[in-house]
Amino acid sequence: MTTGMKDNNNKSTIYVGGLDDQVNEQILHAAFIPFGDIVEIQIPPDPASHNQHRGFGFVEFEEACDAQAAIDNMNLSELYGKVVKVNLARPIRIKDGSMRAESQEAQEAQETQGTQVESSTIQMDTSED
């Protein structure tokens, strides 16, 4: 099932977010195979957990029209009791210059992970001299 994503075929790769912990590559394959031939499925592991994933995955189809059919039919549908978001994955450039597929939501979640916001209070003197 894992053959290496093709960088030149980004419109055939979809992002699937909101995955239940029980969902694995075989389950994603079974859910998305009705829409066309699948080249690869990736579910990135959670580095903080040994046996869990990060709650999203990528499905690469042979044809872009199959990816669009999967988006049209599966977005906001239920998979293993959770509503999943399905949209076209977009490539992002990694520090070493290589490309990988990722959705806007996944990128934003990764960028904000571990970010803390500090709040401060400013007192203003409103008395007139």
Reduce the DSSP state of residue 3 to 3 states and report it.
coil
Mean pLDDT of the chain: 79
Q: How far apart are CA 34 and CA 57, in angstroms?
A: 17
Radius of gyration for the alpha carbons in the chain, expressed in angstroms and rounded: 19
Confidence of residue 3 (pLDDT cuts 50, 70, 90): very low
Q: What is the DSSP letter of 26?
A: H
- Indicate whether 123 pLDDT > 80: no
One DSSP character per residue, 71-115 reads: HHHHTTEEETTEEEEEEE-EEEE-TTS-EEEE-HHHHHHHHHTT-
> Which CATH superfamily is 10-111 part of?
RRM (RNA recognition motif) domain (3.30.70.330)
pTM above the 0.75 mark? no
Burial class for 117, CB neighbours closer than 10 Å (0-12, 13-18, 19+)? exposed
Residue 109 tokens read as 């979640």
Confidence of residue 117 (pLDDT cuts 50, 70, 90): very low
